[in-house]
Structures are given as structure tokens and as C-alpha cells.
Amino acid sequence: MNMSETNRRPYADGQGTLPPCAPLAVPYVPFQQTGSQTYSQQEALANGTLFPGLNLPFQINTVAATPAQTGALELQALSFVLTELGMYLDTHPEDKEAFELFREYGKLAREGRRRYEAMYGPLTQQAAADQDQYTWLNDPWPWEYQQEGGHR
């Protein structure tokens, strides 16, 4: 048996090949239950999942220094939670409680974006189409605001 034959051992059932490191890999895929507990939106963003039962090691810096950054981080967390809930609802469309939570977070996200854009300008180029003039490239960007919300 040559080296390439050793590295491409077939599955026992003949359905493909395994790399030589395969015995070291033990996949774990948790099955998500209807009515699962959920994190708050900030905890979900920091943990990389809305559902504690699906939490795998993941960390993101969720510390903001300015009001603009705090607002942007809150919107990012809401968007993350909406995406997570949307994926959950794709597989659990009958979960009425999750759908109501999805609707509630959607409303919070729309209102949050409206308030944020009124204070700091459009968040997306598409949102710039709703302005009186094209302001997409205008300074300052949210991360360029100083503490206390002042401009640079």
C-alpha cells in the first residue's frame, strides 16, 4: 500500500474517504429543541449564538467607548438575534413564541436604526437613498466620534 492509499481509506460503508486525522475528530451537533432558552441580544452576540444549548467557544469584543459605538453595537446585536431567530424559525416554523420574539426584535431593530440614523447618518448605502442629499461618505463615521458624543 503506497502513501496515497494510506491517506485515503474508504469508509466502512463505502461512502467516501477519511483523512488520516479522522480518528481524532469527534463531531458533535446538538439538536435544537422547540422552546429553547435564549440569551439577551448582547449575550447572544458575545457568545456567537442566541441559544445557550448551542453555545460553542466564541468571543467577540462587545465593549463600546462612545455613544455612537454603543448604538451601533446594539443594532449589531439586534441584527444577530434576528438572524439566529430566523434560522431557528426555518426549522421550527410552528414555534409561536419564537415568532413573536422575532417580530418584537424586528420592531426594536427598525426603531433603533431610525434613531441611530437620525443622530449619526445612514448605516448603509441603501439607507442613504432616504436622505435629502447623498450623505453616505460624509464624516465622521461612528468610530470617529469622541467620548461624550462630540465630533473629532
151 pLDDT exceeds 50? no
Each residue of 54-97: pLDDT tens digit?
776 655 556 666 777 788 888 988 998 999 899 999 999 999 99
Higher pLDDT, 20 or 7: 20
Q: What's the whole-number average pLDDT of the chain?
A: 75
Whether the full predicted model's pTM is greater than 0.85, yes or no, is: no
Band (5; pLDDT cuts 50, 70, 90): very low
Each residue of 80-90: pLDDT tens digit?
899 989 999 99
Each residue of 89-123: pLDDT tens digit?
999 999 999 999 999 999 999 999 999 888 888 88
Domain definitions of the chain by residue range: 36-119
- pLDDT for 111: 95
3-state secondary structure the chain: CCHHHHHCEECCCCCCEECCCHHHCCCCCCCCCCCCCCCCHHHHHHHCCCCHHHCCCCCCCCCCCCHHHHHHHHHHHHHHHHHHHHHHHHHCCCCHHHHHHHHHHHHHHHHHHHHHHHHHCCCCCCHHHHCCCCCCCCCCCHHHCCHHHCCC
13 pLDDT exceeds 50? no
CA distances from 23 to 18, 19, 26, 27, 148 (A): 9, 9, 8, 11, 55
Output the furthest CA–CA distance in the chain (Å, rounded): 72
